[in-house]
Every structure is written in C-alpha cells, then in structure tokens.
Amino acid sequence: MNPANQGQSGLCLIEDDAIMGESLSRFFELEDIPCDWHRSLGEARYALDHTRYCMLISDIRLPDGDGGEFYKELAASNYTLPPTLFITGYGSVEQAVSLLKQGAQDYVTKPFDPNDLLIKLRRLCPTLFDKERRSDQILGVSSAMQRAQQILQQVSDYQLPVLVTGESGVGKEYAARYLHECRFGGEQSPFVALNCAAVPSDLIEAELFGVGHGAFTGAVSRAGLFEQAEHGTLFLDEVGDMPLDMQAKLLRATQEKRIRRVGGNKDIEVDCQLVWATNRNLEEMIQQQRFREDLYFRMSAVRVDIPPLRKRPDDITWFARRFLESFSREIHKRAVLSKAAMHYLQQYSWPGNVRELRQCIERAVIFSRGGILEPGDFQSPQIPAPRLDEQLLPLRDYLQDCERWYILETVQQCHGRIGDAANKLGISRKNLWERMSRLNISSDEKKRSKRPLDS
C-alpha cells in the first residue's frame, strides 16, 4: 500500500553508514526538518508503504541492494514517489546522472557541504521549511501549558464561549490571543479586549453595546466593543468584577447574539468569538449571590485553567530567556543568563507571575554591567541575594555555559535559522552546527524562539 492520499510527513533518509546517517539526522533536527532515518532498503520500503513523505534522500550502495535499482523498481510499478535526491560517491556519479534521466530530481557527491544540500532541498521541497514561515506562538513548555494549548487548538474550529481562569499576571489575555490566532490565522479579524474592572459600572454598558444617537445630551452614535469585534474575538477580562445588572444584559446578548445600543431603538445582530477571563473564584461568588449562575454556565462551555508560574518551573526558564532576548534586542544591549542565574530564578515563588518575571528581567538587563547575568543582578527587596560560595562553577564549565547560551540566544534571535545565526556569530554554518552538537543544544531548545508572553 502506498499512502498517496495521506498528508505529507517530512523527509525519508536511506543511509546505512552510521556516521553519515547520524550526522545528517542531527543536522536535519537542528534545521527543524522532520526526518525518518532508515538503514536499509527493507526498512525504507516498509516506511514508504505507510507514510507519505515529501522528500526522499537515498544512498546508492546499501547493504541489501542498490538504491538506484530500488528507485527504478518503485517508479516502474506506478508507486507515488516523492522528489528524490541521491547521495553518491565519486565513482557512482554516472549512475546518479542516469537516475536523473529516469525521474530522480538531483544528487550530491560525498563529501558535500550541508549548506549545499539545504539549497537543493529548498528548491525541491519548499514545504520542508514551512516552520520558518510560521510564527508558531506557544503558551509555554510545561505540560500544563501544553494541555491548555491543545484545548484552545481543538476548540478553535467552533464558536464556543471560553472561560480562562488564573491568577493575575499568568497570561490570560495571551491565551485568548492564541485562540484568536488559531481560529482566524492570517485573516484580518479584529481582537478587541476590555478589562471590566477598569471601567466604571455606569459606563460599561455603553462601552460594550455602544451609544445610540440622542441617548443623552450631545450623544453621538457610536459602535460598542461587540460590534467592533464583529467576525473576530471579544476578550472580556476580570469579568468577576462586572455589576450584577450588567451580567443580566450580557447573558441576553450572548444567548441571542443581539445587542441594543444605549438609547437605541433596535437590536443589532453580532457575531464574534467570546473569551472571558477572571482571577476570582466564580463558584464561590455564585454561592454568595455576587455572580449569576446562568451566565457562568453560558460563558464556561470550555474552561481553561492556567496554573501560577510557581507551579510551572519549566516555564520560568522558557519565559526568562524569551524576555531576555526580546528586551536585549529592544535596547540594543546583549545579555545572556548564566546557569546559576537560571537556577536562582527558579527558586523564587513569583507572586506576580509572568508579569513580575518580565519586569525582573528588564530591570536586570538595564542595570547589569556585563553581558552575562548572574544571581547578583536580580537582587531586589522581593528576591533575597544568594550566597556566592554556593554558586561558583569551575572556569571551564562556566565558559562552556557562556558559549552554549550565547549560541542558543543568537539562534533563537534568528528564529531558528541556522544560516542567519552563523552570519551573526561570524562563523560558518558547518562550524555552528558542530558547536551545537558538541554543546548538546537540542532541536526543542533551538526552535523555542516564539513571541514572549506580555501579561
């Protein structure tokens, strides 16, 4: 069975040489190119029968047969083959050229420059590099945030109300923006946000529903946030602070998808994705008759709970690096975090959550005197200074730590593009690739160069 109707799934590599195969597999991993490495034609045949690849790279001399003959056999049997590139030694160039005449797309001769191979792959299979063209925003790297992200992705195909809960500063608005991006993608759809706690109770109705002409002396007709969010997303933050009478009007608007401007005489149909957020316990407020139960059930068709940052240590590390990269670029002052500083940040409870972490990083960058941030750069009334003798590292480990994080931050600043990072560092792509392998910089670390959380 050749899975011609299935979605394409990366690159199929057939290479029996352990050193060459491992090197190429690692190289593709660092380039964010999904790759399945097979060491024989038998393995590859099984994989091709069950997976539709968008690119095939094959050596010619293999332990259980000839890669060229394998290709011709599949092509002759009307097999749906992806674009194919052969790896050949100098003595097999003539055979590779013959394969080009029979349908193969290109070949490389050992030894070859990985950069030359990338150039060929970009031409033959542009979809391998889709990740370079996407923003790929993520909510965090912890298991809790990955689950939240999965829920938002799943619900993005449906216009269901979503309730996001969590302490102040954990990133509820960013979660709403993530859902908006998943639902509308690159479309020019509005994202409209309102902090309900920041609007006086006597003005919130006009803010949400708009004002009709002549509603009061000097009133000019204007649209409210529901209308402004038409065919987009309306994010209502701190909904637990909304007055009870306004809650009743919101219930009607969400049920009927109609609103009436203040002072207006007709209903207006509205169509938008509603995302609600609160840092309050709405169930307790319902028992205290401070929040309408019917509105709660209406707005919480899907609920996403964001844990506080202190319960997500992996996200502390991830956000700290993202904020450091973003702010360093903004003020043109290069800085990286030492391992001791990262450990130090993870010991703090972060009552202000991600918002506090961001402010802490920005303050440290502004007042630091060197390019490497140490625990002492984060001293504040909230975070006690550590004892220096507990943080000292051997010089060799310290220098390797600095090199690793400097390379990682540069690669992330270039959004994972190895070639751009190599140019910034003043070294070749091959040299950078070798250094990343030596320093054990993983693909997961390299590609986490996403937009940082704002609140």
Question: Residue 157 pLDDT > 50, yes or no?
Answer: yes
In a domain, 455, yes or no: no
What whole-number distance in Å separates Cα of residue 239 and Cα of residue 282? Answer: 9
What whole-number distance in Å separates Cα of residue 56 and Cα of residue 38? Answer: 11
Q: How confident is the model over 227-250, as a mean pLDDT?
A: 93
Domain shared by 164 and 217, yes or no: yes
Q: Which structural domain range is residue 257 located in? A: 143-307
* Residues constituting the chain: 455
Q: Single out the residue in 272, 307, 342 at which a domain terminates.
A: 307
Q: Are 418 and 31 in contact (CB under 8 A)?
A: yes
Q: Are 308 and 167 in contact (CB under 8 A)?
A: yes
Where does the pLDDT of residue 215 fall: very low under 50, low under 70, confident under 90, or very high at 90 and above?
Answer: low
Q: How confident is the model over 282-302, as a mean pLDDT?
A: 94
Domain shared by 303 and 420, yes or no: no
Could you tell me which residues come within 8 angstroms of residue 76 by beta carbon, excluding any fewer than 6 positions away? none
Domain shared by 148 and 295, yes or no: yes
Q: Which of 221-230, 248-257, 338-347 has the lowest mean pLDDT?
A: 338-347
In a domain, 61, yes or no: yes
Q: Which residue from 444, 422, 445, 417 is spatially nearest to 435, judged by alpha carbons? A: 422
Return the pLDDT at 387.
46
What whole-number distance in Å separates Cα of residue 444 and Cα of residue 450? Answer: 12
| CATH number of the domain encompassing residue 425 | 1.10.8.60
DSSP string, 367-387: H-SSSEE-GGGG--SSSPPPP
Q: How confident is the model over 225-249, as a mean pLDDT?
A: 94
Domain shared by 289 and 151, yes or no: yes
What whole-number distance in Å separates Cα of residue 222 and Cα of residue 206? Answer: 9
In a domain, 90, yes or no: yes
Question: Residue 303 pLDDT > 90, yes or no?
Answer: yes
Return the pLDDT at 77.
82
Domain shared by 154 and 290, yes or no: yes
Compute the CA torsion angle 245, 249, 251, 257 (nearest 10 deg): -170
| CATH number of the domain encompassing residue 207 | 3.40.50.300
pLDDT digits (tens, 9 = 90+) for 42-90: 999 888 888 888 899 999 888 888 888 998 888 888 777 889 999 887 6
Domain shared by 153 and 237, yes or no: yes
Could you tell me which residues come within 8 angstroms of residue 99 by beta carbon, excluding any fewer than 6 positions away? 68, 71, 72, 86, 107
Q: Which residue from 268, 188, 273 is spatially nearest to 222, judged by alpha carbons? A: 268
What whole-number distance in Å separates Cα of residue 174 and Cα of residue 139? Answer: 8
Domain shared by 67 and 150, yes or no: no
Domain shared by 330 and 292, yes or no: no
Q: State if pTM tops 0.85.
A: no
| CATH number of the domain encompassing residue 90 | 3.40.50.2300
Mean pLDDT of the chain: 83
Domain shared by 288 and 182, yes or no: yes
In a domain, 454, yes or no: no
Number of domains in the chain: 3
Domain shared by 258 and 167, yes or no: yes
Q: Position of tokens 């504040």?
A: 380
The residue with greater pLDDT, 2 or 252, is 252
Return the pLDDT at 52.
84
Q: Single out the residue in 283, 307, 331 at which a domain terminates.
A: 307
Domain shared by 244 and 324, yes or no: no
Domain shared by 340 and 297, yes or no: no
Q: Single out the residue in 274, 307, 340 at which a domain terminates.
A: 307
